[in-house]
Amino acid sequence: MTTEKTLEQTAALDNTSGRAGGIWENLRNSNLFLKLTNWEYWPMSVANLPLVVIWAWFAMRAGRLFFFSAVNPAIETGGMWGESKFNILKRIPNSHVPPTVFVKQGADFQKVLEKMEDAGLTWPVIAKPDVGERGLLVSKIKNEAELQAYISQNAIDFLIQKFVDLPLELAVMHHRFPGREQGKVTSICIKETLKVTGDGQSTVADLMKKYPRARLQLPRFEATFPDVLTKIPAEGETLELEPIGNHCRGTMFLNGNHHIDEALTAEFDKVAAKMDDIHYGRFDLKCRSIEDLRNGGGFMVMEYNGIGAEPAHIYDPSYPVFEKYRDIYRHWQVIYQIYKVQKRKGVKSMTISEVAERLKKYLAYKKSLTA
């Protein structure tokens, strides 16, 4: 009797343990758990709280809330928000910028095609807002019909840019102090776009479910690319799901700072030296390889981001949270030091009223994008 009771109790404990284990396993595999336990997926309002403290500290030392706007006088707000991508690209040497045309909202479609032809643009191309961030409304366009659809769906000023078909995408932070030829590369992020590898049996949807980073993108693919999800890649076949190298689209950001050296820095110094009144920011680029870039093989800049740019290597999933904020602090320290040089030269930062006016327009613009 006692033995039977003990066996029943053991079985009950096993069942309870099994259920608890199952619940824990389900929790670990949930999207919520993934987002809570990985800094790169934290809400910006939470992740940026220490950044606000860092900015306030340097603003107090500068005696100007928006001291950072003096660092890059050629860019609206220094590149914190609302800057024109096209305006910045025009300041980068043509040898390092893919053919790009600016399209005004409401432009005649045939004239858009003529501008593309004059610029030597052929399909595919990248379309993106002239003012935008974090990959919002960035699309790879394969033909006229897709471009016409993009124009009809987005009443904005936008850019059409050659799709740069180079194998390696990087985000490189670089700064140089006013009056100096030599600068410094402080961050290299290697971008790995969203991919799955086939087993010859599973659909793309099933493969995405097995990969946490891809699983987070499933709702977007179900809404916009449902045909892709039913494909069955061959065994060993790697399928790129997203060509746009943005974190919010599933791209993995990896720390490449071990590649920083004098030869690589010198390549960015050459380009930055020709960018008048721009001293701090991040080159989002493609190249053949880091070694090729280092040896003068060149690179193509899709975008350049100013003060608002982060040292993107901090999004590496293995990078400790403390070190992320330490690196952010160090980059703001550089911004503050450049500001001090600019202040001595008589360059003024934006006033509160100027910032308020720009911010008002920018927020209204952002609202219109998602309306």
Q: In this predicted structure, which of 29-43, 46-60, 157-171, 225-239 has the lowest mean pLDDT? A: 29-43
**pLDDT, tens digit (0-9, with 9 covering 90-100), for 112-125:** 999 999 999 999 99
Beta bridge partners, 127, equal: 139, 160
Neighbours of 104 (CB within 10 A): 12
DSSP-derived 3-state class of residue 47: helix
* Beta carbons within 8 Å of 167's beta carbon, 6+ residues apart: 286, 288, 289
CA nearest neighbour of 68 among 356, 312, 365, 348 = 348
Confidence of residue 245 (pLDDT cuts 50, 70, 90): confident
CA angle (126 as vertex; 151, 173 as ends), nearest 5: 130
Q: What value does the mean pLDDT take over residues 165-173? A: 97
Domain boundaries, the chain: 2-37, 40-98+164-192+251-370, 99-163, 198-234
CA nearest neighbour of 294 among 255, 253, 262 = 262
Predicted local confidence at residue 368, as pLDDT: 80
Domain at 99-163: CATH architecture = 2-Layer Sandwich (3.30)
Cβ–Cβ under 8 Å, residues 180 and 279: no
Q: What value does the mean pLDDT take over residues 192-199? A: 95
| Cis before 320 (ω within 30) | no
Confidence of residue 168 (pLDDT cuts 50, 70, 90): very high
Nearest-angstrom CA–CA distance, 370 and 183: 38
| Predicted TM-score of the model (pTM) | 0.90
Task: Judge whether residue 262 has pLDDT over 70.
Answer: yes
Confidence of residue 167 (pLDDT cuts 50, 70, 90): very high
| Ranges assigned E (strand) in 213-358 | 238-240, 252-255, 280-287, 300-305
Select the more confidently predicted residue: 367 or 58: 58
Q: What is the mean pLDDT of the chain?
A: 91
Task: Judge whether residue 9 has pLDDT over 90.
Answer: no
Confidence of residue 79 (pLDDT cuts 50, 70, 90): very high
**pLDDT, tens digit (0-9, with 9 covering 90-100), for 347-361:** 999 999 999 999 898
